[in-house]
Structures are given as C-alpha cells and as structure tokens.
Chains A and B, each alone.
Chain A
Amino acid sequence: MEAGTIYITLAALFGIFMAWGIGANDVANAMATSVGSKALTIKQAIVVAAVFEFTGAVLAGGAVTGTIRKGIVDAELLSPTPELLVYGMLASLLAAGTWLLIASRNGWPVSTTHSIVGAIVGFAAVGVGIDAVQWGKVGTIVMSWVISPLTAGFIAYMIYKSVQWLILRHANPLERAKRYVPVYIFFAALTITLVTIFKGLSHIGLTLSVGSSYLLAFAIAISVALAGAWFINRIKSDRKAEKSQHFVTVERVFGILMVVTACGMAFAHGSNDVANAIGPLAAVIAIAQSGEVASQSPLPVWVLVLGGGGIVVGLATYGRQVISTVGERITQLTPSRGFAAELAAATTIVIASGTGIPISTTHTLVGAVLGVGVARGIDAIDLRVVGRIFVSWVVTIPAGAILAILFFFVFKTILP
C-alpha cells in the first residue's frame, strides 16, 4: 500500500489547497453583503460563515461530492486500471487549482465548479477514452449551469417584487417591514432546515420520518423567526437620519433578515462547493484503500470534515480581507435587496446540492442580483461584467480540461 499512501497524501494536499482557495475567495460572496450593510461585523461574519460553511459541507455536501467522485467518469470502464482514475483525479485537482490561480491573478470571473468539471471531463475523454465520460450526466450538469442562474434570478425577482408590494411602496414601510420581515425569516430558515434534515441527517446516522422531519423544520423555522422578531422590535427609528419614509430604519430591519439569509448562503455554498475540493479526494481514497474502482463504498465523513475545515481555514486566513473589500464595493446591495438575492441563490443552490448537481454558486448569486435588478431594485448594474462571465464560462471548461490532460500524462509517467 506504499503507493496508496502517496496517492492519498497527494490528493489530501491538493484537496485542502482547493478548499482553502474556496474559503479564501468564494465565501466572501455570501458574507460581504451582510458586512457591507453593517448587519454583521467582520468578526461575526467570519464566525457565521465558518459555522455554516462547515455544517453545509458536512451535512449537505455528500450528494454533489458523489457526483464529482463517480458521476462524471464511468467507473466500470476503469475497473481493470484503477490507477488511471487516481492519476486523473489528482490531475483534475491540480489543473483546477492552477487555472483558478491564473484566473484570479488576471481578475477573470471563473467558477471553481466549471474548472473541476472541465478538468475531470478532459482527463477522462482524452486520457482514458471518449466513452469513459458519462455524457448524459455531464449534459445535465452543463444545462444546470444555465438553468441555475436563471432560476435564482427568477426567484429573486419574485421575492423583491413581493417586498416592494408588501413593504416598500406603502406609506408606512417601517411598520410593514416589522410585520412582514419575520415571515421572510421563517421561510428562509425553513428552506435551509428542510434541506439539511432531508439530505444531511443520514450522514450523521440520524433518520427521521417525513412527518417528524417537517415538524422539526417548522419548529426550528418558527424559533428563528421569533428570535428575529425580538431583535426587530428592539430597533428604534433614528429621527435625525430619517426622512418621512424611514427607509434607513427599514433597511436595519431587513439587516436582521440578512443575517439569516447570509447563514443560508454560507450553508448553501458549503454544501455545493466543498465537493470541488474533496470529490476527487474521495475517489482517490476509495481506490487506494480497496485497490479497485469501488463505486459502492460510502463517502467517509472525515473527508467532508476535512473539506469543511479547509474552507474555514481559508476563510480565517485570507477571507477576512476579501470580505471587507467586496463589502465596501457592493453597498448598492442594501439589506432589502441583498436578502432577496441571497435567499434566491441559497434556495437554488441547496436544491442543486440536494440533487447532487455541482453548480457555480457565484454565477447563481450573480443571476439572483440581476433578478433584483430587473425588478428595478438596483441603481446601476455593469453589463460588461455579465458579458465577461459568459466568456470566462466558455474558456474555463477547455482550459481546465487541457491542464488536466497535461497533468494526467505527467502523473502517469512519474507516479508508481
């Protein structure tokens, strides 16, 4: 098992590095709005992000990890040569990491998910053979990359419209915000707890009946909403800073809601993106331990913990700076707008996580922000960036693939 130890060590190193990068960069998207709107201090944001990224990764990250690990490459085809899958997964991690490094140096808005999926498809198609790729599944994944931002955009549009109708357009928006924001808090908490309970608890060995699952989710959501209502009632209007509509105080009420949706966003992010780092690692471990392409072996929980931990370390070391930088630049995303975007994105992402589809969390959030914009919620959106996202999209998949093929043949030559 000498070679096996080397494989696992390498894969763990690459995986932790990826997780670190995800924590350092991508988490900022979930937390920056809350910090920018002063709903959370930077310290609170890091604690919240750490807790929910980690729980998201460990409780709801299993399905996507399964897809990355064994959903893209046809494992049956590789049974006679399991070492090829090991080389490929190592190459994919390295390729995605390298590409992300190049991209972030140049300021290209690339997605971790697109990189890793492109890389795996690349090594499998060229290194092993066109048939080694489960093209049907890959097609579904790629479709979801188009559908997920659209879905998030649509949900965000609807949510923000409802905020306009219920609260912002009335003569007494503060009163109405105090009445309706706890309801939004309830739904935000409900969505996240439902996904956690249905998708996550089995990982830690708990199984509940459908009825009691719903009961538990409702109980948790109601408690969160009540806690939110308590905080909201303590908010006093600052007469000096206000004009007749009290929008400054209204935004502070939404700030409480934003804390909840930020938790949801961190949770959703952890549940989908942790797979990019540890999916390949999980595949390598399974092969190295059993010596064969055992697609039936369960995902060890410690691998999820490792990924979640890596994200938290990235967040703690580097994420702090990114969060405050991004927070300063997205002040247009006030809590009433930001929560709509975050709740829409988080809902879309956790549904994808639940069904095991790796999507780009960042692009989903961008889709949600655009949805709020279409509802006339955002002062100015720079459409050039939206164009750049499409370009990076088209470039990232072949780039990840080519790098992965390169590394694959290098590993094939030098590794035992």
Chain B
Amino acid sequence: MANVLANIFGSSPVKPLERHIEVAYRCARTLNPFFNAAIAGNWEGASAARDEIEKLEHEADEIKKDIRLRLPKRLFMPVPREDLLELLLVQDKIANRTKDVSGLVIGRRMQVPEEIAEQFIEFVDRNIDAAKQARKSVRELDELFTAGFRGAEMALVESMIEELDRIETDTDNMQAALRASLFKIERSLNPIDAVFMYKVIELTGEIADMAERVGRRLELLLSH
C-alpha cells in the first residue's frame, strides 16, 4: 500500500551528515592515543589505535556512500544538493587524512624525535580540536534546516565557524613553530626520517585544513 504523503518525502540527508562528522571526528581523535603510544615505543598500542582509525575511516566511507545514494537529483531541498555533497566530501577528508598519517607512521615505525615530542602532541591535539569544532558546527545542521538558514541560529553557526577559523590559525602557527624546531635538530636525524617527519607534520596539519573547509562549506549553505 503506497501512500502519497509518505512517498513525497525523500530521505533527509541532515541526520546522516551529522552522523558522518561524528565518525570522522572520532577517527581524528584516535590520533592522540595513537601518537602517544608510538612516541612511547608501544607499537602494540599504536597498532590497536591504528586499527580503530581504519575501522572508523571505513565507517565514514560507508555513511558517505549511503548519503550519496540517497541524494538523487530529483530531490527538492532548501539548499543545493551539490553544496551538501561538497560538505560531505570535506568531512570525509578529515578521516582520510587521519588514516594517511597514521598509516605512514606505522608503516615506517617512525619515531617522533624526543626534543619535539611534546610540541608535536600539542599540535596533534589542536588539530583534533579543529575536527571537534567542525563536528560542533555540523551538528547544528538540523537546527539550521529548522530555522530556514536565517536568524539567530545562523548567527550561532557563524560564530562557531569563526571559532573554527581561530583554531585553524592556531594549528598553522604551531605547524610553523614545529617545523622550525625540527629544522634545528634535523642534522642529528637520519635524513630519510627527517624528510618523512616533515611529511607527517604536513599531513597532520591537513586535518585542521579540512576542518576549516567544512566551515567554508557550511558558510556557503548559509549564504543561500
């Protein structure tokens, strides 16, 4: 028995998008136990964290596919479908970058030099903060849909995105400082390790970049 009223509603992408950023954030968050274990030389613990990251990244991928399947072109939505798909894509990249950086570290059994270890963990945590703030902003999506992308709710999300930008600027500064610290000690390191350490810093910093791009995408939704 088909009912017209029941069939007129397409499946809403809002809750799945919120679920996706939740998974992407939890994936990024696991970098903290991962690096702490790796720095302590506890490769068993690091492997466990890496497994968790892979699992969450895969879960985010599944949600992404599911959302794409459920957003056919014929849907009529308050915001352009393309913008939602772009948002989804950058959300997903948070998880992707997490997986990339943890894969690189575990594959080469990389040691973060002791001199910069503390500074590096702070940098990782700040990147995780950015992912967390991105999650907080995306979680306002259902409220945004309710409020019709205007008014007080829009102002609230805008302030959240500003905070996200501040965190991202922090990570940029920390990244520069971290590279400077690494530069000072790079001659004492194995050259290949040093090169890859720069790579690890760069990839980690991209997590905050992706989080910031989530903010940009949300802003685009607000501008319609």
Knowing A245-B156, A322-B3, A385-B4, the reply to whether A168 touches B146 (Cβ < 8 A) is: yes
How many chain A residues touch B (Cβ–Cβ < 8 Å)?
47
A169 to B156 CA separation, bound complex (whole angstroms):
11
Taken residue by residue from 136 to 175, chain B's Cβ proximity to chain A (1 for < 8 Å, 0 otherwise) reads as 0001101101111111110010000000000000000000
Q: Contact flags (1/0) for B1-33 with A, using CB distance below 8 Å?
A: 111111111111110000000000000000000
Least distance between A181 CB and chain B CB atoms (Å): 15
- Is there an interface contact between B9 and A333, defined as CB atoms closer than 8 Å? yes
CA distance A325 to B71 in the complex (A): 23
B75 CB–A CB distance under 8 Å: yes
Given the contacts A169-B151, A245-B156, A389 and B76 also touching, CB distance less than 8 Å:
no
Contact yes or no, B146 A330, CB < 8 A: no
Instruction: Kindly name the residue among B3, B12, B143 whose own CB sees the greatest number of chain A CB atoms within 10 A.
Output: B3
Question: Which chain B residues lie closer than 8 Å to A332 at the CB level?
Answer: 9, 12
Q: B78 at interface (Cβ–Cβ under 8 A)?
A: yes
Contact at A326–B146, with CB atoms within 8 Å?
no
**Chain A residues in 8 Å Cβ range of B142:** 247
Residues A378 and B78 in contact, CB atoms below 8 Å apart: yes
Docked CA distance A245–B150 (Å)? 13
Is B145 a contact of A379 with CB atoms below 8 Å?
Answer: yes
Measured in the bound complex, the distance between the Cα atoms of B4 and A386 in whole Å is 9
Check: A366 CB closer than 8 A to any chain B CB: yes
Q: Does A2 contact B (CB under 8 A)?
A: no
> At the interface, yes or no: B108 with Cβ under 8 Å from chain A?
no
Return chain B residues, CB-CB under 8 Å to A333: 9
Instruction: Identify which of A64-72, A85-93, A368-376, A406-414 touches chain B.
Output: A368-376
A362 to B8, CA, bound (A): 12
Question: Are A381 and B9 neighbours in the complex by a CB distance under 8 Å?
Answer: yes
List the B side residues contacting A322 at CB < 8 Å.
1, 3
Task: Report the separation of the CA atoms of residues A325 and B2 in the bound assembly, to the nearest whole angstrom.
Answer: 10
Instruction: Please tell me if the beta carbons of B5 and A326 are within 8 angstroms of each other in the complex.
Output: yes
Min CB distance B89 to A, Å, is 19
Indicate if B176 sits at the interface (CB-CB under 8 A).
no
Stretch at the interface among A25-33, A39-47, A48-56: A25-33
> Does A112 sit within 8 A of B, measured CB to CB?
no
Minimal beta-carbon separation of B135 from chain A (angstroms):
13
- B77 interface residue per 8 A CB criterion: yes
> Which residue of chain A has the shortest Cβ distance to B154 in the bound complex?
A169
Q: How far is the CA of A78 from the CA of B78 in the complex (A)?
A: 54
Residues of A within 8 A of B75 (CB): 380-383
The smallest C-beta distance from A35 to any residue of chain B, in angstroms, reads 12
Q: Does A34 contact B (CB under 8 A)?
A: no
CB of B147 within 8 A of CB of A380, answer: no
* Chain A residues with CB below 8 A from B149, complex form: 376
Q: Is the CB of A169 within 8 A of B3?
A: no
Render A168-179 as a binary contact track against B, CB cut-off 8 A, 1 for contact.
111101000000
Residues of B close to A113: CB separation below 8 A:
none
- Tell me the minimal C-beta distance from A311 to chain B in angstroms: 17
| Interface mask (B55-95 → A, CB under 8 Å = 1, otherwise 0) | 00000000000000001001111100000000000000000
How far, in Å, is B146 (CB) from chain A's closest CB?
Answer: 5
Given A168-B148, A373-B76, A380-B13, does the pair A385, B7 have CB atoms closer than 8 Å?
yes
Report B200 CB to chain A, min CB distance, Å. Answer: 36
Residue in B11, B14, B78, B142 whose Cβ sees the most chain A Cβ within 10 Å: B78
When distances are taken between beta carbons in the complex, the residues of chain A under 8 Å from B7 are: 109, 329, 382, 385
Smallest Cβ-Cβ distance to A333: which chain B residue: B9
CA of A28 to CA of B152, assembled, Å: 36
Asked if A169 and B12 make an inter-chain contact with CB atoms under 8 angstroms apart, the answer reads no
A164: which of B5, B11, B76, B148 is its contact (CB, 8 Å)? B148
Whose C-beta in chain B lies nearest to the C-beta of A110? Answer: B4
Contacts of A297 in B (CB 8 A): none
Asked whether B3 lies within 8 Å of A382 as measured between CB atoms, the reply is no
- B77/A379 in contact, CB under 8 A: yes
Q: Which residues of B contact A (CB under 8 A)?
A: 1-14, 71, 74-78, 139-140, 142-143, 145-153, 156
22 examples of A-B residue contacts, CB within 8 angstroms: A28-B3, A28-B5, A29-B3, A104-B1, A164-B150, A243-B140, A243-B143, A247-B142, A325-B1, A329-B6, A332-B9, A366-B5, A370-B8, A373-B76, A378-B9, A379-B14, A379-B77, A380-B71, A382-B10, A383-B74, A383-B75, A384-B74
CB-based closest 3 A-B pairs: A169-B151, A107-B2, A380-B10
Chain A residues engaging chain B, CB cutoff 8 angstroms: 25, 28-29, 32, 104, 107-109, 164, 168-171, 173, 243-245, 247, 322, 325-326, 329-330, 332-334, 336, 362-363, 365-366, 369-370, 373, 375-386, 389
